[in-house]
Structure 1
Amino acid sequence: MMNPGLPLLPWIVCVAFTFCAYFPGHVAGIRKDISLSAPIMCRSTVQGRHLISDDNGYICSALSINPWSQCCPRTGSRYSCQGCKLDLQCCNSYEYCVSCCLDPSRTKEADVLKLKVAKPVTSGTYRNIFDFCMGRCRHSSASVVHENAYASDFHHCFLVQQNSSGSVESDSGPRLPGINISIGRRGESCSSVCRAKGQSCVPSRLSALNKCEM
């Protein structure tokens, strides 16, 4: 007796072959036009609660900074000197001082990398211009009077000066910010001269005058 399923075998084989012809084997390929760029990461100031400046010179609000890259939006202000006295290179805001200081037209990286972080001879030098700007824009002893008050609202400074030998030296701001210089008679004390003009003597600033650094 003939098996009724045998005549169907050629059709099954044919259909299977035709089905496979429409679906070719695995095809592999490599795209060579894809390049993965390195992610942009920034260093930023962390001193203020409201403003932040990154190491590219952009300044933004603390809420608008990218939490992953720590970069300010590129649509914000760059190298902004808002609230700064450019003749003194001093600002009334730390973040704007850093942003203004990072401007290559105001601060030369080749100059600041030669400067020491502190006065002792064992102190190292700044690693980059961002470290310099962050360090110099913080107020120092030269920006306060009576050890508990600022001499001026513009106490964030990044001034770089040249000394008599031609080498650069940094200064945290004007020598006597907010101080009026009065000349007294020989033998007259600082307190009596200032009291006569309704002012008070600041002994901590006499050393700068005596060294003729003005």
Structure 2
Amino acid sequence: MLFPFNRSMVTLLPKNRSTLFLGCKLDLQCCNSYEYCVSCCLDPSRTKERDVLKLKVAKPVTAGTYANIFDFCMGRCRHSSASVVHENAYVSDFHHCFMVQQNLSGSTDSNYGSRLAGISVIVGRQGEPCSSTCRAKGQSCVPSRLSELNKCQILQKYMRCRSGCFPSLGPDQPAEVVDEAPTSLNPGACLYMQTDERLTCDGSHQHTRRVCPCA
């Protein structure tokens, strides 16, 4: 469905990222309606066109890139599994998000290998917490190293992430949604936690497989 949109609206958006404006929480880059999300996304101070045009529309190597920033915003503001909990409810009213698909907890760097020295990175079974995954290998989960795995770049190294990689909220993360999961959960998507402090070895979800730091 088409909606009325005035491109001049983006010039009126406040620069304070913590401001609630036009139905959007700008610090979270999420809005309570699709129309407002697209409007906020088009603000050049929040979404850089040079970054957006490099992104693939989908995970496969054959997928193309976005033609323009408007196409990106139209697609990004639609729902993803990151906005849904318990398969049929939204995490919050602000479930249309326009953040560029990347890991807010940081990207990989040259110190990645040294920080995981002595750690066995193991992908668990569906619905299994990391504490059990590591125990099955005669090891223990190392909670202080979960943050090193809580990155899209790392998830894509150990998992397929065929449906993309998205920020989410859940004690089972970082993880990948299994292919057999309900469509509403975005099967094949990798999920990372936006707040490292909430990561735990004991979380699990019946429709995900975790990546675990064991030692």
Q: Determine which structure has the larger strand proportion and give its number.
A: 2
Q: Which has the higher contact order (CA 8 A, sep 6+)?
A: 2
TM-score by length of 2: 0.47
Higher radius of gyration, 1 or 2: 1
